[in-house]
Amino acid sequence: MSALLITTFTPLVGTLLLALLRRDRVAGWLNVALGALSFAASAVLAWQVAQRGVVAGFGLRVDAFNVFLVVLTSFVGLTTSIFSRPYMQHVLHTRLTGRHGLRLYHSMYQSFMFTMLLALSTNNLGVLWVAVEGATLSTVLLVSLYRTPESVEAAWKYFILCGVGIALALFGTVLTYFAAQHALPDPAQGLDWSLLHEHSAQLQPAVMSIAFVFLLVGYGTKIGLVPMHQWLPDAHSEGPTPISAILSGLLLNVALYAVVRLKMLVDGALAATATPHLAGHLLMGFGVVSFLVAALFLHRQRDVKRLFSYSSIEHMGLMTFGFGLGGPLATFGALLHMLVHSLTKSAIFVTVGHAVHIAGTQSIDHIRGLIRTQPGVGWPLLIGVLAIAGFPPFGIFTSEFLLLSATMQSAPVFTAVLLLGLVVAFAGLFRHLQPMVYGAAPAEQRPVKANMLPVVLHLVLVLWLGLAIPGLLAHWLDSATALIAGAHLL
């Protein structure tokens, strides 16, 4: 129990400490130390879940599904804070922000981590909604950190669009509570997910169907599903690079996690009706549209951070499709894809941060010849894009292969659509990557001091997961698949 509390609430303590700490260099190291403590506690928590199956208390509940996301979130939060420490010192020296802005950054970084970990570990759907809203408020302040007209505009767009989305999610949560009033022994516990899941067959099907539509659109806005995705490219391109890394690598996962948890309730409520797969079909529809639209938009991008933000939309669409498709194989593939995408995309954004520092611009047209200027940045960018494009033997190839195999088994009509989307996305990434990596480097382009440890660590893990999945991780994913798919593994 203590491991669960330390994992979840260490960032909250960090939020308060870093808001008061005035020494910016110490703040960077403290940010790393807090991330290390939270990650260490999450590793202990994972061991406890492996032993007991479920760890619960104080309104929190961690099972096989969310424990691997808790560990992933705390791990990426730690590695990104390691990159963040020298990067934000560079931001301070170039006067993109001042000391007050740096204090705000470190405090809101920990606040962002706390809200995501709380959303993942809470057993209450109301607290889940509050935590996701808290994550929005924290990141609005981070996106607007530089106070340029573009960053302020991006922050307002993020706030307004996600505010509307989260309001719709609130209405869906209220409808879920209403549906629970005649199904639970104690109606006051109508927002406890574990009780709702236990009595999901008694929930009113019509109300739950309407609730899921609101919840999908609401939380789908945070996932970046088309057409609610317009905030995401702006927020990624205008915020500090470490925030882009955890926005893309972590926050989108948290929102998708919320949708999957709610889908499990709706599937139980609709199991005996004429439309038992309504939630899954909605997820498949939104997922495949988002996947295809993002793949096409990759070709039109001229800003390197917007390019990879559309790549995130593409991959989140693929995961959403996989969870909608359902079944053990698709669910296992979608869970694995959540993991490897987070590791790969956060590594890419860290590398892009250094590339922008080298070129002095985010414009794809002016980032050239990185391998010639600084091979330590150019090669990781090339390898990261190869991984995110699904080249073997990286883990994304494995997860995409599983999703395609599941599609051929359960919905073969979508197989050609997915293959076409993957080809279009591959072409969109590599038409921009080739000149950035191999083009003629401008004469004024010079190497910079780069912190590539997080990138190397993430890419090695993604390669390892493509070659072999460790037994403990396979056990987590198998258990989570059985819980989500509601079936025995094949």
User: Which structural domain, as residue segments, surrounds residue 93?
Assistant: 1-123
**pLDDT band for position 1 (cuts 50, 70, 90):** low
Q: Are 225 and 317 in contact (CB under 8 A)?
A: yes
- pTM, entire model: 0.95
Give domain status of residue 239, yes or no. yes
Domain count, the chain: 2
Mean pLDDT over 223-232 rounds to 90
Give domain status of residue 112, yes or no. yes
Q: How far apart are CA 33 and CA 37, in angstroms?
A: 6
Average pLDDT over the chain, rounded to whole? Answer: 91
Give domain status of residue 130, yes or no. no
30/96 same-domain check: yes
pLDDT digits (tens, 9 = 90+) for 445-472: 888 888 888 999 999 999 999 999 998 8
36/72 same-domain check: yes
Give domain status of residue 207, yes or no. yes
264/348 same-domain check: yes
Asked which of 77, 92, 123 is the last residue of a domain, the reply is 123
Give domain status of residue 338, yes or no. yes
Residues in the chain: 490
84/205 same-domain check: no
Which residues make Cβ contacts (< 8 Å) with residue 450, sequence separation at least 6? 354, 357, 374, 376, 377
Please give the backbone phi and psi of residue 423, each rounded to the nearest 5 degrees, phi first: -65, -45
Asked which of 96, 123, 150 is the last residue of a domain, the reply is 123
30/173 same-domain check: no
Give domain status of residue 393, yes or no. yes
97/160 same-domain check: no
119/162 same-domain check: no
Asked whether the predicted pLDDT for residue 423 surpasses 70, the reply is: yes
Give domain status of residue 128, yes or no. no
148/116 same-domain check: no
DSSP E strands: which ranges in 214-261? none
Q: Tell me, what amino acid is at 429?
A: L
CB atoms within 10 A of CB 93: 8
Asked which of 90, 123, 156 is the last residue of a domain, the reply is 123
245/334 same-domain check: yes
115/159 same-domain check: no
Q: Tell me, what amino acid is at 487?
A: A
For 197, 244, 246, 342, the CA distances from 348, given in Å and listed in that order, are 37, 10, 11, 10
182/308 same-domain check: yes
pLDDT digits (tens, 9 = 90+) for 111-170: 999 999 999 999 999 999 999 999 999 999 999 888 889 889 999 999 999 899 999 999
342/474 same-domain check: yes
Please give the backbone phi and psi of residue 154, each rounded to the nearest 5 degrees, phi first: -65, -40
Query: Which secondary-structure segment (H or E) carries 55?
Result: strand 55-57
Q: Are 231 and 225 in contact (CB under 8 A)?
A: no
Give domain status of residue 131, yes or no. no
Q: How far apart are CA 336 and CA 94, in angstroms?
A: 39
